[in-house]
Amino acid sequence: MRLVSRLGCAIALIAAAVPARADPTLPGGGSIALGRLFTHTGASASLVANAPDSYFDLAHCACSQRGAAPASFVETTFAFELLLVPPAGVSAPADVWVGSGCDDPATRAANCHQIASSTIADLSMLPTQPPGATPEISVYDLMVPEPSVLACQFRELVSSEWVMADTNGGGAYNYVVQKPIATDALAPDLPSGFVATPDATSIEIAFTPAADTHDLAAYQAVCATVDGSPVSTAPPAPRYLTARNLCGESLDVPLVPSSIDTNLLGADAGNGGFEIPQGVAELDPAFLCGDQPDPTASSIRLAPLPTGKKLVVVLLAIDRAGNAAATYFLDELQAVPKQDLWQDLHQRGGRAEGGFCLVAETFGDDHPITHALRAFRADVLAPTPTGRAIARAYYALGTLARAWPPLAAALAIVIALVLGWPLVLVLLVVRYVANRHAAWPRMRSPSTVPVGVGRQPRATRSSSSSFAVGR
């Protein structure tokens, strides 16, 4: 899939050639027009006049370096169409340069270099009608025009193709024409504040977008199991482009570590003590597991995922040119069925023993109020550290509450107030008192109380009552 065009940055072209610091016309009144842009996009061995979606980016810069790509890779050069308009009788050579400020002798040596292979032997030989001459220039030469710079840079740069001629034999260029291209090899800023909310087959990762999102186009995620296997049989199409995936050049996107709140009780922040699988480190599109095409979004959903398997996850922020910034999470993530936080506490070594659940015992486990409070706990309390702290404190009082019913009633009031359910609180207390009163035996002589009537001995009471909201 070709990437969304970077308006104004990936390929920003001036409509007409711009003479600079020189004669506006050639002898005879003509001029050189730099017209259509030609590239090798679509794996075409021939130059094709088009507006490429992504061509002057970091991946193409790296792949167009001499010796970086195999001979079969053709997306290394571009050319502007050169025309002589109107026809003019001028006989002089012209040189082709790339860079910025190449018309100024004071800055030319530092910011530009000449493309000797594209020299025009005689301007009079230029075509006067399309298709014009198309001297090819390396993408790398355009994006790294300074002689002192020896590698692709993480930057945005407006660089130009220049055609310059000495038409009067004065030893200096007196006719200059240029056409700029805005190149982009700079990845966008990464978001922060990551929070993962899992369910049985997916993980929702929420985040705070970066302050500067003007160039952001999308987010994607790459996942692998700890043994290095991809997790999706039908991964989404990549919205990013890397040199490795484009031409096999081993220039990978740097992976920045990030902490993530995994929304699990008792979970400690990870330290990245695991090996990042090769497919993930290389951002192999086969490992894609999440796609968020909305650049204004603050979350991305990873799905479908295998249930219960630990996953190494990398999140990508992608710009309009296809450059990607990447962060890997220090915690291994996993899709798990939503479970009661009381069960989660015990699975993670909590010592609180069972608990008395006023809500479930009063209304029943399947009552709408029980379900409502359970949903409030899962959706409002569980996703935040404060909410989980409240839940842990609630569970820790379970043993005491079971032994001392007045504490259970007081705790029910506190939790109800925290949850913001004042009407439920009233119904809860009234219903609880009514149910308990109906269950108590009438006053009678101990000798006449039937066996099994009234309160059961502690050891024989149902173990299904647990001290958790909504249980």
- Give this prediction's pTM: 0.70
Among residues 9, 178, 40, 173, the alpha carbon closest in space to that of 98 is found at 178
pLDDT at 341: 47
CATH number of the CATH domain containing 214: 2.60.40.10
Residue 467 lies in a domain: no
Inside any domain, residue 466? no
Domain boundary among 164, 184, 204: 184
Q: Are residues 324 and 453 in the same domain?
A: no
* Residues 176 and 28 grouped into a single domain: yes
Q: Are residues 28 and 175 in the same domain?
A: yes
Domain's final residue, options 184, 211, 237: 184
pLDDT of residue 240: 97
* Same-domain status, 78 and 161: yes
For residue 471, tell me if it sits in a domain.
Answer: no
Query: Is 237 in the same domain as 178?
Result: no
Q: Is 8 inside any structural domain?
A: no
Given the structure tokens 């980016």, which residue do they identify?
57
Residues 174 and 239 in one domain: no
Is 4 domain-assigned? no
The pLDDT score that the predictor gives to residue 449 is: 33
Cα-based torsion angle of the residue sequence 292, 297, 298, 299 in order, rounded to the nearest 10 degrees: -30
Domain membership of residue 442 (yes or no) is yes
What is the count of structural domains for the chain?
3
Residue 260: how many other CB atoms lie within 10 Å: 22
pLDDT tens per residue across all 471 residues of the chain: 434 344 333 334 433 444 445 677 888 888 999 999 999 987 778 888 887 778 999 999 999 999 999 989 999 999 999 999 887 778 889 999 999 999 999 999 999 999 999 999 999 889 998 889 999 999 999 999 999 999 999 999 999 999 999 988 888 999 999 999 999 999 999 999 999 998 889 999 999 999 999 999 999 999 999 999 999 989 999 999 999 999 999 889 999 999 998 865 444 445 667 889 999 999 999 999 999 999 999 999 999 999 889 999 999 999 999 999 999 999 999 998 765 444 554 444 444 333 345 555 555 556 666 666 666 666 666 666 676 667 656 555 555 555 666 766 676 666 555 555 555 555 566 666 666 655 555 444 333 333 333 333 333 333 333 323 232
105 and 24 within one domain: yes
Report if residue 9 sits inside a domain. Answer: no
How much is the pLDDT for 365?
A: 59
Residue 60 and residue 159 in one domain: yes
Domain boundary among 294, 329, 364: 329
6 domain-assigned: no
Query: Do 264 and 304 belong together in one domain?
Result: yes
Q: What is the structure's pLDDT at 429?
A: 66
- 241 lies in the same domain as 346: no
**359 and 281 share one domain:** no
Reference 158, options 146, 147, 143; nearest CA is 143
What distance in Å separates the CA atoms of residue 364 and residue 54, rounded to the nearest whole number? 60
CA pair distance 190, 226, nearest whole angstrom: 24
Burial classification of residue 90, based on how many CB atoms lie within 10 Å of its CB (0-12 exposed, 13-18 middle, 19 or more buried): buried
Q: Residue 40 sits in which domain range?
A: 18-184
